[in-house]
């Protein structure tokens, strides 16, 4: 074996997946499934989708099976530490025994965090930053059914969760946690539910999926079991994202995006991520901007940065994106991948850089607790580039990046994402 590979990731760790239900009408099963799992009194966690009737519908299906329902509907995008702590406190005060989450990755992640807090008798959620920080004798968390509504983070099938620290001396900071004990009990994906997503968020979330497929495919973890699913995820996004953004009534396209987000998350579950996610976490830590939007802006820059570390894998990505690469050198073929990502970005309305991000659906940039840290727009000056680059170096996604990352090497990548344009 080559010596340089010995110190990187010589032992691969395969993390488990939860049980899942995928298909039309899947969410209708929530009451039956909860009863089978022994739910008696559940905390239903959600965000701004209350009022769309979906939350009330789910609550009704649970109550029909004799399950009491308590609702916490204050989860924010880029879920905050106080969301987890408030929900855990409500869970314990109301003597609940289980969780149901209805929403996208933010809601699922916040619920995972609340479960960890409950299992550890109220410990601060920020203590779970990192890998498997649960106490060995506190591994059993309350059961959790996650009804996913975005395509999307895939949090309902992964061991990862992301929380924003707004209260410690290190705030503002967005950290990535991995914990085998927080995997959901049952993940539910119903393509009909996804059709209510706003057009812009559909595009943002789709690029989150593309990042989930591409990063484990080129990751230095080089996890063989992730590679096939990662490529299939990329292919499905390339074939369907434009359609679901332009025509949200296309069930087949939505079903394909549901599968893309699901298998993409299963790919990174053991295959790792990279600095697309690290940059995204950093920008949202300071501005509360949408995670998928951040990934979309960072993605072509990071692909271009990482290509020299593995041109052959980026050749495969170009082919999965629909590019004709036969007869091209690996370098030229890899460049086609970046070109395809840029075209897709433009076609679905991704802003050309962070400075040009304006208002979008459900935007909370510069609001709430962030009023003391930032305004409603991303500044993107050298000070911004400095602090984002430093945040990247400490992010839990960075070790998987295929190319070595230093402050000096990542600074130009971040600067280009902040204020330059590919189109």
> pLDDT for 174-207, tens place per residue?
999 999 999 999 999 999 999 888 999 999 999 9
Mean pLDDT of 374-384: 93
Q: Tell how strand 160-165 and strand 173-178 pair up.
A: antiparallel
Distance of alpha carbon 233 from alpha carbon 320, whole angstroms:
9
Q: Are strands 19-22 and 186-189 parallel, antiparallel or unpaired?
A: parallel
Judgement on whether residues 162 and 285 belong to the same structural domain of the protein: no
Residue 400 shares a structural domain with residue 336: yes
Residue 297 belongs to what domain range? Answer: 200-209+273-419
Give the chain's mean pLDDT: 95
Asked if residue 214 belongs to a domain, the reply is no
Query: What single DSSP character describes residue 142?
Result: P
CA distance 237 to 259: 10
In terms of domains, do 150 and 49 share one?
yes
209-236 mean pLDDT: 97
CA distance 212 to 182: 20
- The values of phi and psi at residue 92, to 5°, are -75, -40
Residue 390 lies in a domain: yes
Can you tell me which residue has the tokens 């968020």?
201
3-class DSSP assignment, residue 242: helix
- What integer pLDDT is reported at residue 7 of this predicted model? 59
Is residue 243 within 8 A of residue 203, CB to CB? The reply is no
CATH code, domain with 311: 1.20.1090.10
DSSP 22-81: ESTTGGGGHHHHHHHTT-SEEEEE--TTTTSSHHHHHHHHHHHTT-EEEEE--PPSS-BH
Number of residues assigned to the chain: 423
| Domain total in the chain | 2
**The Cα angle at residue 51 between residues 68 and 157, in degrees rounded to 5:** 65
pLDDT of residue 253: 97
| Token output for 90 | 């409500």
Q: How far is CA 270 from CA 22, 267, 382, in A?
A: 21, 6, 35
Does position 270 have pLDDT exceeding 60, yes or no? yes
In the numeric block, the tokens 């396209």 are attached to 253
Residues 282 and 175 in one domain: no
Model confidence at 136: pLDDT above 90: no
Residue 293 to residues 201, 206, 345, 351, 360, Cα–Cα distance (Å): 8, 9, 10, 8, 10
Is 103 inside any structural domain?
A: yes
Same-domain status, 176 and 307: no
* Whether pLDDT at 328 is above 70: yes
The reply to whether 189 falls in a domain is: yes
253 is a domain residue: no
């Amino acid at each position: 074996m080559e010596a340089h590979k010995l110190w990187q990731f010589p032992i691969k760790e395969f993390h488990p997946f939860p049980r899942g239900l995928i298909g039309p009408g899947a969410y209708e099963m929530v009451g039956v499934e909860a009863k089978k799992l022994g739910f008696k009194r559940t905390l239903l966690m959600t965000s701004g989708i209350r009022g769309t009737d979906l939350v009330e519908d789910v609550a009704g299906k649970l109550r029909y099976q004799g399950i009491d329902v308590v609702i916490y509907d204050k989860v924010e995008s880029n879920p905050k530490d106080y969301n987890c702590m408030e929900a855990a406190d409500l869970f314990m005060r109301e003597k609940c025994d289980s969780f149901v989450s209805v929403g996208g990755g933010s809601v699922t992640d916040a619920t995972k965090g609340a479960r960890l807090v409950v299992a550890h008798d109220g410990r601060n959620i920020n203590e779970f930053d990192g890998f498997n920080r649960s106490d060995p004798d506190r591994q059993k968390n309350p059961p959790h059914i996650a009804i996913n509504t975005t395509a999307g983070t895939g949090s309902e099938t992964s061991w990862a969760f992301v929380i924003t620290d707004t209260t410690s001396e290190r705030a503002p900071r967005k950290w990535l946690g991995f914990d085998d004990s927080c995997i959901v009990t049952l993940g539910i994906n119903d393509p009909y539910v996804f059709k209510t997503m706003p057009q812009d968020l559909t595009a943002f979330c789709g690029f989150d999926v593309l990042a989930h497929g591409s990063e484990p495919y080129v990751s230095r973890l080089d996890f063989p079991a992730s590679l096939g699913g990662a490529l299939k995820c990329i292919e499905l996004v390339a074939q369907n994202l434009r359609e679901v953004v332009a025509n949200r009534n296309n069930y087949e396209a939505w079903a394909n995006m549901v599968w893309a987000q699901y298998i993409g998350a299963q790919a990174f579950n053991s295959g790792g991520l990279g600095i697309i996610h690290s940059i995204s976490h950093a920008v949202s830590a300071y501005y509360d901007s949408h995670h998928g939007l951040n990934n979309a802006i960072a993605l072509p820059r990071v692909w271009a940065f990482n290509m020299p570390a593995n041109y052959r894998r980026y050749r495969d990505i170009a082919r999965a994106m629909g590019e004709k690469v036969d007869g091209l050198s690996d370098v030229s073929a890899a460049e086609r991948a970046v070109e395809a990502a840029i075209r897709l970005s433009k076609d679905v309305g991704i802003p050309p850089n962070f400075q040009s991000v304006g208002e979008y659906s459900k935007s909370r940039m510069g609001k709430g607790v962030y009023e003391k840290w930032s305004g409603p727009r991303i500044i993107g000056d050298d000070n911004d580039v400095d602090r984002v680059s430093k945040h990247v170096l400490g992010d839990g996604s960075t070790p998987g990046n295929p190319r070595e990352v230093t402050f000096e090497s990542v600074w130009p990548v971040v600067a280009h994402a902040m204020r330059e344009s590919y189109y």
